[in-house]
Amino acid sequence: MAKKKTGKKVALKKKVAGKKKKATRKSKKTNAVAKKKIVDDLLIELGTEELPPKALKRLSQSFYDNLIAGLEQAGLTTDKSINAVRFAAPRRLAVRVPGVRMQQPDREAERRGPAIQAAYDDTGNLTKAAEGFARSCGVSADKLERIKTDKGEWLVFRQLEKGRAAKELVPEILEQALKQLPIPKRMRWGDLDAEFVRPVHWLVMLHGDKVIPATVLAVKSGRKTMGHRFHSPRYVSLAKANDYEKTLKKSFVIASYDRRQQLIRDGVEKLAKKQGGVAVIDPDLLDEVTSLVEWPEPILAGFDKSFLDVPPEALISTMQEHQKYFPVTDKRGKLIPYFITVSNIKSKQKARVREGNERVIRARFSDAKFFWDTDRKQRLDAHVEKLKDVVFHVRLGSMHDKAVRVSRLSAVAAGALKADTKLAERAGLLAKADLMTGMVYEFPDLQGTMGRYYAKHDGEPAEVAAAMEEQYMPRFAGDALPADSTGRAVAIADKLDTLVGIFGVGEVPTGEKDPFALRRAALGVLRIIIEGELELDLMQLLEAAVEGHAELPEPSKVPAQVYEFMMDRLRAYYADAGISPDVFESVRACNPAAPLDFDKRVRAVMAFGKLKEAASLTAANKRIRNILKQGGDADWDHVSEVLLQDPAEKNLAQKVKALGAELTPLFDKGDYTAAMKKLAALRPQVDDFFDKVMVMVDEEAVRDNRLALLSGLSQLFLRVADLSRLQD
């Protein structure tokens, strides 16, 4: 019996020891977890009604940037935080940031007081200013320290400032981030004072597995998010921040914008490939479709081949702009009778979804075919007279008035280009006629494109037909330019007529407001001339454009105003190309009237800057400009060889005279790069002159002669640019 009792005691001891070991392991594990909780993932999700699809990507990026900046500024981020992820779907904006501190690090705060001179009187006692500073810091004067700077010595108070908890800071950071979102017009809902782009329904703020309590935009924070509107229309609880993506995926929401977009792209391309075609994926349309769906399901559909008789641009515009479909072409880029729609549901009856979309597109294509057939019953020129009923601008007349002005100015531009003025005149007159057609009325984005088709159908010359579309080029930065002379002439004339007219009636663009897209028009003209290498005098064209506007109150001032405006656009054009502002200003000082000539000078100055002689000659030009300002300007014709005394000035005069004759043909043909290389050869004579010759001597005749020599030298460089404006 004793043995049995002993056995029971041993077993009991073992059991107790096991429990102790288990408790110890659990305690160690708890302590380890506690240590890890110094930082944790932070999730913020704002749930709303459907956000504007064309703005979602921009809103998401701004939301992400603002939150990260706020967290960094508060000192809550760590090295892990660089892996932050942004999420965006039709009904949510979210950001998950790994490694966010639970609390700000403690920091030493420093408050500077009065200067030492003002802190102590002559006897070494504290002044009232110093005592007041100590009281404001809540300490006695003996707690104050001194700090020395390059500007003197000061009293200073230092204290350790304890960091605030993340749960206090994050709501403030969120509110600030929301205020900074690019929302042009905010809305209110119900009887609430809260304002946002759309009504807000839920807010998730999780730091690890803990909710950060707050009320933002009249919504209390929690851990519940919402699933797919149709497949999972209920709130779903999140255990912790990094459960976000997988939890939503179970609820039929692909939260990652980039992931959802890639799924759409892959799915659309795969379906098109199955039909032996290529999907036409416009980047803007892809962004918009990504912003419209939570659970993308691409579906292939088709349409009747007979619709392919309609211009493909009309069909593609219908699919992309109106229905958000992706067209399909063959490998040569020709449209084939298929399209791909992206559904927001995982349907068990895809055939019905397909049929519904095919029914919609059939109706839209039938309209397009009707307009195409009807419009061709009249010639394009029959619509010109109808333009009298369409107002271009209340002070600038009708679209017919504009067509007449553009026609006349197109002929002027064509003449300057040595092109066919009759073709340009005809194209300018017909340019706006397609605005009166049924197709363009229904599909405004096809203006110009349909004009080309209708002009071709009417048997107009090929260049005239092409100009109907080319008049609008370039439509945006990097867009193609008109390909032939007639198209270039009409495009330039159309844009200059608008610029001159709107400036003439005083409606100059201000800030971001530019309702007539004058900045785009100005840059378009400059691009056509420069990149098309057209020898056109901009001032002459502007003056010719003004002649067509009899209604302008002060027509004589307009060309210069528009020219200055266009020079600002040209400055931006070169800045985008990586050319420094001082290079632009050096050429601008010479005021060349032809944009192509301007461009050649800019390229020449850029090439000159790479030469070893550039720095010395640039400095010499600055010195010359300063000397000429002091001594008054001189004229090359007044240089007298008899008055040249020093060998250095004789050598320079001889070299300048020889180069003058040599450079004239280069300047005449605009070969400024070659001219600048030759001017670089002046460096030895210029350096020698400034080393050995005093310009501002007492003898007036000698002084004026040397000033004349420097003036002549300066004028040679000024045939290209004012090098004195270049930065060292």
Question: pLDDT by residue (tens digit) across 106-149?
Answer: 877 778 888 887 888 878 788 888 888 888 888 887 778 888 88
pLDDT reading at 1 higher than 50: no
Q: How many CB atoms lie within 10 A of CB 143?
A: 12
Q: CATH 1.10.730.10 residue ranges in the chain?
A: 601-725
CA angle 31, 35, 41 (to 5 degrees): 125
* Reported CATH class of domain 381-578: mainly alpha
Structure confidence at residue 11 as a pLDDT band (50, 70, 90): low
Q: How much of the chain exceeds pLDDT 90, in percent?
A: 77
pLDDT at 35: 52
pLDDT in tens, 594-608: 999 999 999 999 999
Q: Region 514-520: what's the mean pLDDT?
A: 94
What pLDDT, in 10s, does the model give residues 528-586?
A: 999 999 999 999 999 999 999 998 999 999 999 999 999 999 999 999 999 999 999 99
Q: What is the C-alpha separation between 710 and 198, in angstroms, rounded?
A: 69
Mean pLDDT of the 646-668 span: 91
Q: Which among 359, 355, 255 is positioned nearest to 299, based on CA atoms?
A: 355
- Please state, in angstroms and as integers, the Cα–Cα distance from residue 391 to each residue in 395, 398, 401, 404, 518, following that order: 9, 4, 9, 14, 18
pLDDT band for position 16 (50/70/90)?
A: low
Question: Residue 160: which of 99, 94, 98, 110 has the closest Cα?
Answer: 110
pLDDT surpassing 70 at residue 78: yes
Q: Where in the chain is the domain with CATH 3.30.70?
A: 39-104+165-250
User: Does the N-terminal peptide bond of residue 311 adopt cis geometry, omega within 30 degrees of 0?
Assistant: no
Quickly count: other Cβ atoms within 10 Å of residue 503's Cβ. Answer: 22
In this prediction, residue 635 has a pLDDT band, given cuts at 50, 70 and 90, of low
Average pLDDT score over residue span 53-77:
96
Is residue 33's pLDDT more than 50?
no
Query: Both tokens of residue 97?
Result: 């940031």
* Among the listed residues 188, 182, 195, the one whose alpha carbon sits nearest the alpha carbon of residue 65: 182
Q: Is a pLDDT exceeding 90 seen at residue 495?
A: yes
For residue 298, the surrounding DSSP H or E stretch is strand 297-302
**Whether CATH 3.20.20.80 fits 601-725:** no
Residue 633 reports pLDDT greater than 60: no
Confidence class for position 28, pLDDT limits 50, 70, 90: low
More confident residue, 67 or 134: 67
Q: What is the pLDDT of residue 158?
A: 81
Please give the residue that has the higher pLDDT: either 143 or 450: 450
Interacting residues of 103 by C-beta distance below 8 A, sequence separation 6+ = 163, 164, 165, 166
Amino acid at 143: K
Q: Is the pLDDT of residue 25 over 70?
A: no
Decide if pLDDT at 352 tops 70.
yes
Res 12 pLDDT > 70: no
- The DSSP bridge pattern shows strands 219-222 and 200-207 to be parallel
Burial 670-682 (b: 16+ CB within 10 A, else e): bebbebbbebeeb
Amino acid at 224: K
How high is the pLDDT of residue 130? 82
Closest to 488 measured CA to CA, from 543, 532, 435, 425:
532
The answer, yes or no, to whether residue 286 has pLDDT greater than 50, is yes
Which pLDDT score, from 0 to 100, does residue 24 have?
Answer: 56
Q: What H or E segment, with its residue span, contains residue 690?
A: helix 683-692
The Cα–Cα gap between 192 and 493 comes to: 53
- Residue 343 burial (10 A CB sphere; 0-12, 13-18, 19+): middle
**What number of residues does the chain have?**
728
Would the pTM of this model clear 0.85, i.e. be above it? no
Q: Residues of CATH 1.10.3210 domain(s) within the chain?
A: 381-578
DSSP-derived secondary structure letter, 195: -
Looking up tokens 């095919």 gives: 358
- C-alpha–C-alpha distance, residues 208 and 218, integer Å: 24
CA–CA distance, 47 with 419 (Å, rounded to integer): 61
The whole-number pLDDT of residue 603 equals 96
Contacts of 614 (CB under 8 A, 6+ apart): 608, 680
The average pLDDT across 442-450 equals: 95
Residue 328's H or E segment, with its range, is strand 326-329
Task: Specify the CATH number for 39-104+165-250; select among 3.30.300, 3.30.70, 3.30.160, 1.20.120.
Answer: 3.30.70
Supply the pLDDT for residue 103. Answer: 92
**Residue among 647, 676, 635, 671 nearest 659 (CA):** 676
Q: How far is CA 514 from the centre of its chain?
A: 16
Please check the confidence at residue 40 and state whether its pLDDT lies above 80: yes
Q: Which residues pair with 297 in a beta bridge?
A: 343
